Amino acid sequence: MVTGERDVTTVATQALYMLNSAFVIDQSKRFATRLLAIKSIDDATRVDLAYRQTVGRFATSQERERALAFISDYNKSDPAAGWHALCQATFASAEFRYLN
Amino acid sequence: MINSLRSGLSRRAMLKSASCGFGYLALAGRVSDAARQQARAASATPGASLGYTSPLILKATHFPARAKRIIFLFMQGGPSHLDTFDYKPRLVRDHGSSSSGGGGKAGGKLLASPFKFKKAGQSGIEISEVFPHLSKHADELCLINSMHTSSPAHPQATIEMHTGTSLFVRPSVGAWSLYGLGTVNQNLPGFITINPPERLGGPQNYGSAFLPASFQGTRITPSRGVKGDERDLLSQIIKPAAPLAAQRKQLDLIQQMNQQLLDDAKVNAELEGVVESYELAFRMQDAVPQVLDLADESAATKEMYGLNNGATSNFGTQCLMARRLAEQGVRYIEVCHQGWDQHNSLKERLTANCTAIDRPIAALLTDLKQRGMLDDTLVVWSGEFGRTPQGQGDNGRNHNAAGFTSWLAGAGTKGGLRYGETDEHGGKAAVNKVHTHDLHATMLHYMGLDHEKLTYNYGGRNFRLTEVHGHVVRDVMA
């Protein structure tokens, strides 16, 4: 049987799925809710935990600052929405989507 | 994949040295089609020295193309050529007598068509009375009466009609077309299939197999409503989940993450592909719903396509969408009508089917013509096979791979022509036979592609749509 390595496998519908599908949104919300339910840690540690649980490493200090800035900017009246959007962005990132 | 680095100067490296960087360009939406074409034209081996190049950019044809796009009208089930486009006077005369010819069982009794054929157009080619509207376009149609294919079973023949073979998983005709030509509108998929069969190969019929995934068809199912069909993935994910400004913020974050990974990897074509796919996705959210929204079509157009009539509204909607997609630069559009498997109730069910497609297809041809698009659009009508001249009971016909009719229109097709012949009763292709492979070779030829040169190296050898077969049927072209 002929087997081979696939060439470029990135299509826009995959990106749309990560951005808009009910499944990814639901999973992102659950992830965000789970992170926010841990009351004993601060937001910086929470970002670290998100990175640990998605891409298997700690966030760099730059990533941590960027994430916190994103959350406060995304929806000023609803930090949970920012956390949800952050979690979804993490799922949508190439680092999460592809094995290295 | 992230570690599979490509040698040479990547576009990213080049752009970086020009101070801005690819990420900035992508985010700013400044990677224009023209720029990509220029970059491609400047390179002897397109894309090779640039790292990532979108596989969908326009590519040069092998020779000047007759057709810029193809609309493939697929009639799933095996429409009877003997009751539609292949007029056989002997079948009428010999009705009821035994015949061993054709694809049917030996000794089966010949069944005359329950329909009358009428000479149509200036050319006077005979078309069944079940197509009163389409008959008016007789002088634009080239009926290929001598089609034949490899298998008289629905799944195998359907897959063969779409991919060239049912023996292995192979790229579909649409995927090969995109691979060969790229697409002109980078905001839309280049290959769209409307209402394809869910079985009989399913996604294989619009898949890309070993070709890059960018060439696979995107499925939409408007017959169940453009919005809200839970099985129609595109209709769900094309709708932005958040207000665009908020989504843009989120997308910027995603792209920053990807950019960072790209910085670490230094050169990576696939990662640049990911970055670009998000930008295309963001643009598609605007472009796709717009092109599928028929609200701005005139009442006259809607009436012409039969949108106000229950019998024709489904297929009419699909044909109108096909025209809109064609107008927007979609390269390969398939529209499927299912249920042509008349083992029984031939007269009644064939009448219903033909009524459902007659007016919409006639409208599509009229509409393309009045917009000046029939000159560079190839319209192909075909089932996966035909049916036997012998009856199955007194009002049905069995499968027949040995003879059937497909027709072509537009893009410089010789109209008003019956090309090739079946035998006297219409059972087997006999004169100027055209196999499915030949049809595929011809379709690629219309698009300016040589089916013997359009190859893809996979698993150690070059593959083509027509394998080692296929002859271009030049006599159907003016």
In contact, B83 and B349? CB cutoff 8 Å: no
Residue B239's alpha-carbon distances to A92, B218, B233, B244, B277, in angstroms, are: 17, 16, 11, 10, 16
Query: What averages of pLDDT result for each successive group of 10 residues across chain B (478 residues)?
Result: 37 43 38 40 33 75 97 98 98 88 66 97 98 98 98 97 95 96 89 92 91 86 52 75 93 93 76 83 89 93 96 95 96 97 97 98 98 98 97 95 98 98 96 98 98 94 96 97
B253 in contact with A, Cβ within 8 Å: yes
Question: Which residues lie closer than 8 Å to B408 by C-beta, 6 or more apart?
Answer: B141, B142, B144, B378, B379, B380, B381, B442, B476
Instruction: Report the distance separating Cα B338 and Cα B344, nearest Å.
Output: 16
- 81-140 of B, contacting A, C-beta below 8 A: none
Instruction: Report the distance separating Cα A13 and Cα B365, nearest Å.
Output: 31
Q: What region, left, alpha or beta, does residue B102 occupy, with left being phi > 0 and alpha being psi -120 to 50 degrees?
A: left
Q: Which of B148, B155, B165 is nearest to B467 (CA)?
A: B165
In contact, A51 and A90? CB cutoff 8 Å: yes
Beta bridge partners, B462, equal: B457
Q: Which of A69, A92, A72 is nearest to A80 (CA)?
A: A72
A85/B246 CB distance under 8 A: yes
In contact, B393 and B48? CB cutoff 8 Å: no
Tokens of B99: 């015949």
Which of A21, A75, A85 lies closest to B237 in CB terms? A21
Structural element, H or E, at residue B145: strand B141-148
Q: Which of B94, B77, B471, B437 is nearest to B102 (CA)?
A: B94
The pLDDT value given to residue A1: 53
Residues of A in contact with B178 (CB under 8 A): none
Tokens of B81: 């050529």
A28 in contact with B, Cβ within 8 Å: no
Which of B3, B273, B284 lies closest to A16 in CB terms? B284
Residues of B in contact with A80 (CB under 8 A): none
The pLDDT value given to residue B100: 63
Amino acid (1-letter code) at residue A52: R
- Give the side-chain half-sphere CA count within 13 A for B417: 17
Angstroms from A16 CA to nearest CA on chain B: 5
Instruction: Report the distance separating Cα B450 and Cα B441, nearest Å.
Output: 8
Amino acid (1-letter code) at residue B9: L
Name which CATH class applies to B69-179+293-476.
alpha beta
A12 in contact with B, Cβ within 8 Å: yes
> What is this model's ipTM?
0.94
In contact, A50 and A35? CB cutoff 8 Å: yes
Angstroms from A97 CA to nearest CA on chain B: 10
Amino acid (1-letter code) at residue B408: L
The pLDDT value given to residue B254: 95
Annotated domain spans of chain B: 2-60+183-292, 69-179+293-476
Instruction: Report the distance separating Cα B438 and Cα B423, nearest Å.
Output: 19
Which of B253, B261, B281 lies closest to A12 in CB terms? B281
B37 in contact with A, Cβ within 8 Å: no
The pLDDT value given to residue B201: 92
The structure's pTM equals 0.84
B237/A19 CB distance under 8 A: yes
Beta bridge partners, A81, equal: none
Beta bridge partners, B461, equal: B458
Tokens of A52: 């640990």
Angstroms from A49 CA to nearest CA on chain B: 17
A99 in contact with B, Cβ within 8 Å: yes
A97/B274 CB distance under 8 A: yes
Angstroms from A5 CA to nearest CA on chain B: 8
The pLDDT value given to residue B2: 40
- Chain A and chain B share a number of CB contacts under 8 A equal to 130
Residue B418 exposed, middle or buried by CB count within 10 Å (0-12, 13-18, 19+): buried
- 176-195 of B, contacting A, C-beta below 8 A: 189
Question: Testing the interface with A: which of B2, B271, B277 to mutate, by most A Cβ within 10 A?
Answer: B277
The pLDDT value given to residue B76: 98
The pLDDT value given to residue B398: 96
Scanning B371-475, the segments in alpha helix (DSSP H) are: 436-446
A72 in contact with B, Cβ within 8 Å: no
Residue B378's alpha-carbon distances to B142, B172, B288, B315, B465, in angstroms, are: 11, 17, 23, 19, 18
Structural element, H or E, at residue B191: strand B191-194
The pLDDT value given to residue B101: 56
Residue B267's alpha-carbon distances to A6, B13, B47, B52, B275, in angstroms, are: 18, 7, 14, 9, 13
* Residue of chain B with shortest Cα separation from A68: B253
Neighbours of A41 (CB within 10 A): 12
A20/B214 CB distance under 8 A: no
Residues of chain A with pLDDT under 50: none
Residue B387's alpha-carbon distances to B111, B396, B427, B467, in angstroms, are: 11, 9, 8, 27
What are phi and psi for residue B467, nearest 5 degrees? Answer: 50, -120
Residues of A in contact with B256 (CB under 8 A): 66
The pLDDT value given to residue B347: 98
Question: Which residues lie closer than 8 Å to A69 by C-beta, 6 or more apart?
Answer: none
Which of A4, A22, A97 lies closest to B210 in CB terms? A4
